[in-house]
Amino acid sequence: MMIKKDPPLDQTGGPKDKKKEPRKPPSPDRAWNTALSAAQGDAQSWINELAKQADARSSFNELLDTPIDFSNFI
């Protein structure tokens, strides 16, 4: 049996096996986000009202002053 001094290494640092095929990525799980809809409650309506206002600066400030509970999206 012949031992190589410097066997080729892959990116993980282990010995490279030329016969192995690369692993395929896992198939996407499309059912993970079916429980929640994109727009919950009346959030979209108040954003639309702010967008329709004539004074852009006041509507922007009002939007920044609006508390948003992000725990619903976790």
pLDDT reported for residue 70: 82
pTM: 0.21
Question: pLDDT tens digits for 30-67?
Answer: 676 666 566 555 667 777 776 776 666 777 788 788 88
Residues across the chain? 74
pLDDT reported for residue 17: 58
pLDDT reported for residue 69: 83
pLDDT reported for residue 47: 74
Considering Cα of 27, then 31, then 33, then 38, what sign does the dihedral take? positive
What is the band of 25 on the pLDDT scale with cuts at 50, 70, 90? Answer: confident
Cα separation, 50 vs 62, in Å, equals 8
